[in-house]
A and B are shown apart, each in its own frame.
Chain A
Amino acid sequence: MAEPLLRVEDLRVVFGPPGREQVAVDGLSLTLGPGEVLGIVGESGCGKTLTALSILRLIPNPPGRIAGGQILFRGQDLAHASEKAMNRIRGKEISMIFQEPMTALNPVFKIGEQIGETLRVHDGLTRAQARSGALQMLERVGISNPAQRLGQYPHELSGGMRQRVMIAIALACRPQILIADEPTTALDVTIQAQILLLLRELQSELGMAVVLITHDLGVVAQVVDRVAVMYAGRIVEEGSAAAVFERPSHPYTRLLLESIPTLDQQQDRLQTIPGMVPSLSNLPAGCRFHPRCPDVRPACREAAPASFEVAPGHRAACIAVNNYRHAN
Chain B
Amino acid sequence: MPEFILRRLLIALPVLLLVSLISASIMELVPGDPAVLIAGQSASDAEIAMVREQLGLNRPFVERLGSWYAGIARGDLGDSILLNRPVTQAIAERVPVTLALAGFALFLTVAIGLPCGIIAAVRANTWVDQAVLTFALIGVSVPNFWLSLMLIVLFGVMLDWLPAGGYVMFADDPVGWVRCLILPGLSLALLQVGLLARISRATMLEVLQQDYVRTARAKGMPMWSVYGKHALKNVMVPVITVIGISCGLLLSGSVVIETVYSIPGMGRLLASAVFGRDYPMIQGGLLVTAAVLVLLNLLVDVLYALIDPRVRYGQR
User: Which A residues fall within an 8 A CB radius of B?
Assistant: 56, 58, 62, 83, 86-92, 95-96, 98, 100, 103-109, 117-118, 121-122, 153, 155-156, 166, 169-170
Contacts and interface: CB of A to CB of B under 8 A. Distances in A.
A106 B216 CA distance: 8
Nearest to B208: A60
Size range of the chain B interface in the assembly: 20 to 34
Interface of B: 125, 210-212, 214-223, 225, 230, 233-234, 237, 307-310, 313
Contacts of B234: 106-108
A106 B220 contact: no
Contacts, number: 79
27 contacts: A58-B217, A83-B223, A86-B220, A89-B220, A91-B219, A91-B221, A92-B220, A95-B218, A103-B210, A104-B211, A104-B214, A104-B215, A106-B212, A106-B215, A106-B216, A106-B230, A108-B309, A117-B219, A118-B220, A121-B222, A153-B309, A153-B310, A153-B313, A155-B313, A166-B215, A169-B215, A170-B218
Contacts of A62: 125
A118 B309 contact: no
B237 A87 contact: no
A293 B207 CA distance: 43
Contact of A109 (B211, B233, B310, B313): B233
Contacts of B222: 87, 121
A98 B214 contact: yes
Closest 6 CB pairs of A and B: A90-B220, A91-B220, A91-B219, A106-B212, A103-B211, A153-B309
Nearest to B236: A108
A90 B218 contact: yes
Given A103-B210, A155-B310, A155-B313, A121 B215 contact: no
Q: Is the interface of B mostly helix, strand, loop or mixed?
A: helix
Given A103-B210, A108-B307, A117 B218 contact: no
A104 B212 contact: yes
Contact of A98 (B215, B237, B309): B215
A183 to B, nearest CB: 13
* Listed residue (B211, B214, B215) with the most chain A CB atoms within 10 angstroms of its CB: B215
B215 A117 contact: no
A116 to B, nearest CB: 11
Contact of A121 (B218, B220, B307): B220
Contacts of A86: 220
A96 B223 CA distance: 18
A62 B234 CA distance: 23
Contact of A107 (B125, B212, B221): B212
B233 A108 contact: yes
Contacts of B214: 58, 98, 104
Contact of A96 (B218, B233, B310): B218
Contacts of B237: 108
Given A106-B215, A107-B310, A155-B313, 14 more contacts: A58-B214, A87-B221, A89-B220, A90-B218, A90-B220, A96-B218, A104-B211, A104-B212, A105-B215, A106-B212, A106-B234, A107-B212, A153-B310, A170-B218
A268 B215 CA distance: 44
A56 B219 CA distance: 10
Contacts of A87: 220-222
A268 B237 CA distance: 53
Contacts of A91: 218-221
